[in-house]
Structure 1
Amino acid sequence: MTVVRFGSGADVRAAAQDGSRGQAGRDLRLVPAALVVWAGALVGLLCGWPVAACVGAAAVAGGVLLWLRAHRHRSRAVHAAVALVGCGVLVAGPLTARLHGVEHDPVRSAAEDGAIAELRVELRERPRLLRSDSGGGLGDGTAQGDRRSVLVPVEVVSARVGTGDDAEAVHTTGRMLLIGPAEGWEHLLPGQRTNAVASLAAARPGELTVAVGFVRGPPEGTSEASWWQRSAAMLREGLRSAAGVLGEDEAGLLPGIVVGDTSGQSERVRQEFLDSGLSHLTAVSGTHVGIVCGAVLLLARVLRFGPTVSASVAGVVLVGFVVLVGYQPSVLRAGVMGTLSLAALVLGRRRSAVPALSVAVGGLVLYDPAMATSMAFTLSVVSTAGLVFLASRWAATLGGRRLPPGAAEAVAVPVAAFVVTVPVLGGMVGEISLVSVVANLLATPVVAPVMVLGVLATVVAPLSPDVAELLVHVAGPGVSWLVWVARESAAVPGAVLAWPPGWWGGLLAAVIMVAVLVAFRHRLARTAVVVALVMVLVVLTGVHVVVPGWPPGRWSVVACDVGQGDGLVLATGQPGRAVVVDTGQEPGALDRCLNRLGVDRVPLVVVSHLHADHFGGLQGVFEGRSVGAIAVGQGRTPSWAWQAVVNEARSRQVRLVELSAGDTVSWDALTLDVLGPHYTAPAARQETGEETEDSESSEDGTAINNASLVLRASTPAGRILLTGDIEVAAQGDLLARGVDVRAEILKVPHHGSRHTRREFLTAVRARVALVSVGADNSHGHPNGEIVRTLRGSGALIARTDEGGDIAVVPGDTEDAPVVVRRGQDNRRET
């Protein structure tokens, strides 16, 4: 997942003012002090508070030595020495004391024991939907329903460990992350206080959080939010309502661009913005602050206000914008830098970008040491530094070669941001977007107009919704352009490069970037790099010509790589038309698979049962395609999942049909026979509608699995047995009833779960066993014994976690299908 964050336009312009003067024109005196604060908090969180104390002490000693040397030579470095000593004292003192308190917080000890706690907490940020890759329940908010969960960052006001009369009050001022149901929690606002009973769990190392709390019920005893937070919530709601006049993707994206509200953003668009390197547009940072303040200052200039009045008005707008967006690390960094830049405007100071960045980094990390390990904060800082130290110089160089100033800046900014953020992304995410520079070049021209129109619509919405909708309509083409750029960029083969995560991966990326920068300073090296790139392009083109493309001709079924879930596509014999059986958990994965297969018409979507890893991606089937109907079995639990499917069918205006044993549906080259379920779960289980993340350990989840539709597809490649997630009881019921389950191709039940009968696998007599499973999943799928049983019966096992999308095509004989794995070498096996 690739994220690239840019600093504000103000950062670039401030740097450009002195960019032509070279490094000597920049004031670097506060940089060492800021780095000491950041380093002290970072190593303190990762290695313990004593190490932070050592960093602070070393900074004090170094600052004293620097002061003595600077004082002797009457150098300007004396100011840097004073700042270094002051920050060293703050690191060794207050910051270290805070880290010591967090490490020895009594709630942290209780969390390690898995205790229950009664809490009074104060919200630090707005609750946000929790996304997860788990395949069992829908606890991630990726589809509508009452089982969504939210992540709530809080400060603990008071705590009692235990319950009832055994509860013991403990003194704590730590912070926690609460995970609870969206209902009751998602509308809370920062600053509100509430009560909760939570099951405690240990927090991840390297964080200021003392514990994670799992909350089952709604908040109680909630205080009233401040008027400014209520006003901000009203403005955000007005923007979401006004954005509803746009298409579905655009309506969810616009609030993200304007105020960082991604609650309505579809999973597909979110992933495409990550892959294309455009996700910084929905994570409010310096770019957004620069556009807002720049627009206010431009208006003030038109009205002929003086510097003091202009900066004051811009400052008020900036404070309101930060409250509207929220107190995320990148927003606070941008807000502090914007405030300092406005102060510099009033004082007539130039070349203030580096001191402003240094003060922002040092001050914010001292205020909140957790920012030292925050990826959002890190990306925000390093990208701004890249604009200050690299983009301004490169823009000046390009301008000297007769490139117009605007075009020079447009090229220099994304390239500089890419260069400096690659080590961070490589080390912290393990992925690098190779298309981010081009995507940002294409996106940049429309960002500012969309942002300004969106902010105006936000302000106007409570007063005149019609005017707000008109402004949104004007911004609509720009938002659609951004969606198109992200979608097309993410679809480029090899758009995202996997990278070794961790410190060594980040260091390797940094070394490569430095080597490239050094090489490009010499003409011979630049020529060598260009020649190497041309050779790579020629080789890749040749490989593409020699190796057959995707999809293979005459494919009958494709098991799409949708992670931990099922998503199968069956060819109907008509070009561009296919039946989909289950959709995985996320819309984007199945949508991309269907795009690769060239499917634009889906006469039938079959949902085998109501678990999120089988219907959560339903929305992706409708992206740019016509759908005839959605087919379900007789199961109606859990009720929230059933309602989600009903709502999707209703909103798309497609029929919802029920299949039962004995039904048959046919197309030119495909026939579906419904074999089950005959098995009926106990009524008590079906009525609960409850499930857990691992359905194997839940009786209710097992009942839902055993209610899966069982289909036999007759195709040119042979018979395919599609089993959903049926487990031991349903498999035994099919065998006891004498149902003919023989098939050349088996979609292995429940991703290869251990809850599978060996005699069932033997009865199928499959030549090919398709296992749709997520890499390194937490369920242990597929089970080793099941894999050995399949191999022992002579089946070729094809797993999506190992081969990506897997196609089955007809072989020389009907009982010898051919497996084609999508990949660089498209291997064929029989």
Structure 2
Amino acid sequence: MYGGRGDGPFRDEGPTDLRLVPLAVAAWVAAACALGAPGWWSVAGVTVALVGAAVLWAPAAARWFAGPDRPGEPRPTEGGAEAGTLRRGTPGGRLRATACAGVLLCAAAGATSAGLHAADLRRGPVPALAREYARAQLEVTVTSDPRLTRPRVSGSATVPVSVVLDGEVTRAERPGGAAHRTRAPVLLIVPPGAARDAWLRLLPSTRLEVDARLVPPTQPGDPFAAVLKVDRGPPRIVGRPSALQRTAGELRAGLRRVTDGLDPDARALLPGLVVGDTSRIGTELRDAFQATDLTHLLAVSGSNLSVVLLLLVGRPGRAHEVERGGLAPRIGLSLRGSALAGGALTLAFVVVCRPDPSVLRAAACGLVVLLAIGTGRRRSLIPALATVVLVLVLYDPWLARSYGFLLSVLATGALLTVAPRWSEALRMRGVPDRLAEALAACLAAQAVCAPVVVVFAGRVSLVAIPANLCAELAVAPATVFGFAALALAPVWTPAGEGLAWVAGWPAGWIARVARAGAALPGAEMSWPGGWWGGAALALITVVVVLGARRLPYRGPMALLVAVLLLLVVARPAPLTRWVGGWPPPGWVFAMCQVGQGDATVL
């Protein structure tokens, strides 16, 4: 997908432009720190950053107001005592000071945005009611799709499945008290059996009137002012959803309708692949996707949009060539018209998948791919990605603490920087082009994302790379035919059902890959969780990558490593008996179910 030095699709453009990366990282880190810090700490940090930026920019500003250098003013030469040194008065030193000032300003902006958003969770009547565990009558605007909690066991009892959804309180009233207008984000929890189907049919932007008990959030970093435990009963709707959300809801419902006749796995998975609708995905299938590190296919991501954009405009790097690919030149669209059509597709993607932060993030990452398609320039992609990160963190600082956002950015960055070099290295060793691109993309994404997954999951998937390679074959056809079924379902149901049936084959293949990979005895390996465990895995990954470049006989060594990994994952019974002594020969395990209970005998 991305070429190497001059002979690939991309032109040789010199080193990658990384100037915007420190600015985006500074805003990101500052926002993440400010969200969990007291308000006065945020104010102090912003003040220090602004003062530091002013100090660094003062000499440059004074020089600008003083006018250009005098013709006779001495300048440092390339030789002599000052060679290789960037002093504050030299042009290089001034550029470095300006860059540091820009980093401090972006950090101040990130901390300011995060501090203001966090302050909204601590003021007003809703946090006060939550601290008192009080009951109140509230008017709430729904801001997300309703979803079901996962079944879990607490002690000797099973915690029932509830409906949860995000909302924003616009009016709060105590029993017998005064009503207050406010704006506070909350999390609604609906108890089991409380007209669950009616709650699950709610669309974002619907206004409700609820009677609920307010409690504080369980975690200090949660983006909610309170948790509302709603009383039993159907939702009391006082305001219809917006036209935009109704349109998106009708399209999503149409996709679910035309997939009703598919096999269970395809029926559950296809809406998730196309628009991120995971309401039909059960616990068993979700666990299989987690074990194989395929969960990125169940969420709305930039890959969904990039598949459609690639179908329209073709592969990156060929946009300026006469033989550019995609459907656009075949239907007479110019390069500018193709870019406009791609922008229209992006807008439609946001409408259908709902304009919440996760969808906006995916659309922004898709636009980075669109920039690659339209320009064929690799150097412009990293600045574009850094700009996207900076804008999104300032718009929604809670993304700075989102693992999903971090994984999206790392995967996109790896595909833009690491994967092209690894793909070129594989090509030089005789690997076919398409296989080299797919293998390099999977290796790069897994290398940068696995340490982050370890932080919150405490495990490493040993089948992630082969599972992603096998699933990648079916992602594009499932997505394309799924979007076609989505578009035709409201106007021509039989055609939508036919396209959904076609898309069901690759979707079923992806589900079978996930189930087969998760069923292997060594699919997952336990690993210490937390940031220390992530740092340890990152260090090991760096050592392995650097060591692999210096190993002699790389081909035989790679084959040996692949065989060892296969034995660890498959764990054939003779090998495990020889290594661990279990299971001992001649033993039998039997299970007996008699209706009122069961028994196991070893």
TM range (shorter): 0.7 to 0.9
Alpha-carbon separation, structure 1, partners of 2:564 and 2:369? 47
Q: Please, which of 213, 219, 229 is the counterpart of residue 214 of structure 1?
A: 229
Aligned 1:767-778 pairs, distance under 5 A: none
Aligned ranges 1:726-765 → 2 under 5 Å? none
Residues 509 and 85 (structure 1 numbering): CA distance in 2 closer, same or farther, change over 3 Å?
same
Mark the runs of 5 or more structure 1 residues left unpaired by the alignment.
Answer: 1-8, 141-148, 558-569, 571-578, 582-605, 607-708, 712-721, 723-746, 748-806, 810-830
Structure 2 counterparts to residues 699-710 of structure 1, below 5 A: 709=596
Letter in 2 for 1:264: R
Residues 285 and 334 of structure 1 are in contact (CA less than 8 Å); yes or no, is this contact kept in structure 2? yes
Q: Does 1:187 align with 2:201?
A: yes
**Does the alignment pair 1:332 with 2:351?**
no
Matched, 1:95 2:105: no
Partner of 1:271: 287
SS of alignment partner, residue 174 of structure 1: strand
Q: Shift in Å at residue 221 of structure 1?
A: 3.8
Output the CA distance in 2 between the equivalents of 1:396 and 1:433: 26
Summarize the alignment of residues 96-135 of structure 1 with structure 2, pairs less than 5 Å apart.
96-134=115-153
Match for 2:601 among 808, 811, 814? 808
Does the residue aligned with 1:173 lie in a helix, a strand or coil?
strand
| Cα gap change, 1:222 to 1:483, in 2 (>3 Å) | same
- 1:786-805 equivalences under 5 Å are none
When residues 345 and 386 of structure 1 are mapped into structure 2, their CA distance, relative to the original with a 3 A threshold, is closer
Within 2, Cα distance between the matches of 1:525 and 1:158? 70
Deviation at 1:446, TM superposition (A): 1.3
Q: Secondary structure at the match of 2:212?
A: strand
Structure 2 SS opposite 1:26: coil
The Cα of 1:531 is off from its aligned counterpart by: 6.3
Alignment of 1:372-411 (within 5 A): 372-411=400-439
SS of match in other structure, 1:47: coil
Which AA in structure 2 matches 1:35?
V
Aligned with 2:526 (options 464, 487, 498): 498
1:336-375 CA-partner distances (Å, limit 9, x unpaired) = 2333554676688652221221122111121111111112
Larger mean CA deviation between 423-432 and 66-75 belongs to 66-75
Deviation track 1:678-699 (CA, whole Å, cap 9, x = no partner) reads xxxxxxxxxxxxxxxxxxxxxx
In the alignment, what sits opposite 2:252? 236
The correspondence of residues 370-769 of structure 1 with structure 2, limited to 5 A, is 370-524=398-552, 543-546=575-578, 547-549=581-583, 553-557=587-591, 570=592, 579=593, 606=595, 709=596
CA spacing shift, 1:130–1:536, aligned 2, 3 Å: closer
Judging changes above 3 Å, is the alpha-carbon distance between structure 1 residues 344 and 432 closer, same or farther for their aligned structure 2 residues? closer
How far apart are the structure 2 equivalents of 1:106 and 1:72? 56
One-letter identity of the residue aligned with 1:173: R
Q: CA deviation at 1:503?
A: 1.9
Q: Distance in 2 between matches of 1:133 and 1:342?
A: 42
Pairing 1:39–2:71 present = no
- Alignment-mate amino acid for residue 41 of structure 1: A
Q: Deviations over 1:549-574 (max 9, x none)?
A: 499844343xxxxxxxxxxxx1xxxx
Please tell me the residue identity of whatever aligns with 1:808. Answer: V
Contact 2:30–2:108 (CA<8 Å) still a contact in 1? Answer: no
**Structure 2 counterpart of 1:73:** 91
- Report the Cα offset of residue 418 of structure 1: 0.8
Contact 1:179 1:214 in 2 (8 A): yes
Residue 475 of structure 1, CA deviation = 2.1
Distance 1:207 1:239, change over 3 A: same
State the Cα deviation string for residues 85-106 of structure 1 (Å, max 9, x = none). Answer: 5423423434323323324454
AA aligned to 1:73 is P
Structure 1 residue 56: deviation in Å? Answer: 4.0
Alpha carbons of structure 1 residues 268 and 127: separation in structure 2 relative to 1, 3 Å: same
1:534 CA drift (Å): 6.3
Higher helix share: 2
Give yes or no for contact 1:30–1:80 (8 Å, CA) kept in 2: no
Checking the alignment, whether the CA contact within 8 Å between 1:126 and 1:326 is kept in structure 2 is no
Match of 2:17 in 1: 27
Say whether the 8 Å CA contact 2:371–2:381 is kept in structure 1. Answer: no
* Deviations 1:132-155 (CA, angstroms, capped at 9, x unpaired): 303646732xxxxxxxx3211112
Structure 1 residues 219 and 19: CA distance shift in structure 2, 3 A: same
CA deviation string 1:153-189 (max 9, x = no partner): 11222223x3x21x35456432111111434321221
Segments of structure 2 that go 5 or more residues without pairing to the other structure are 61-86, 314-325
Specify which of 30, 38, 43 is matched with residue 48 of structure 1. Answer: 38
The 3 A distance-change label for structure 1 pair 413 and 468 is same
Q: What is the Cα deviation at residue 84 of structure 1?
A: 2.6
Cα separation, 2, equivalents of 1:525 and 1:315: 48
Q: Counterpart of 1:665?
A: none
d(CA) in 2 for partners of 1:363 and 1:39? 14
Taking a change above 3 Å as real, the CA distance of residues 253 and 101 of structure 1, as seen in their structure-2 partners, is closer
Cα distance in 1 between the residues matched to 2:26 and 2:215: 32
8 Å CA contact 2:136–2:211 kept in 1: the answer is: yes
- 2:320 corresponds in structure 1 to none
Distance 1:299 1:15, change over 3 A: farther
Over 3 Å counting, the alpha-carbon distance change for 1:184 and 1:19 in structure 2 is same
Give deviations 1:270-319, integer Å, cap 9, x for gaps: 21111111121111101111012222332222223122221112112111
Contact in 2 for aligned 1:433/1:496 (Cα 8 Å): yes
Tell whether the 8 Å contact from 1:111 to 1:201 is kept in structure 2 after alignment: yes
Which deviations, in whole Å up to 9, do the C-alpha atoms of 1:692-743 show, x marking residues without a partner? xxxxxxxxxxxxxxxxx4x6xxxxxxxxxx6xxxxxxxxxxxxxxxxxxxxx
Query: Residues 93 and 205 (structure 1 numbering): CA distance in 2 closer, same or farther, change over 3 Å?
Result: closer
Counterpart contact for 1:60–1:88, Cα < 8 Å = no
**Relative contact order (alpha carbons < 8 A, sep ≥ 6): 1 or 2 greater?**
2
Secondary structure, counterpart of 1:463 in structure 2: coil
Q: In 1, distance between residues paired with 2:342 and 2:5?
A: 20
Give the 3-state SS of the residue equivalent to 2:532 in structure 1.
helix
User: So what's the TM-score if we normalise by structure 2?
Assistant: 0.82
Deviation at 1:492, TM superposition (A): 0.9
1:740-762: CA deviation from partner (whole Å, max 9, x where unpaired): xxxxxxx7xxxxxxxxxxxxxxx
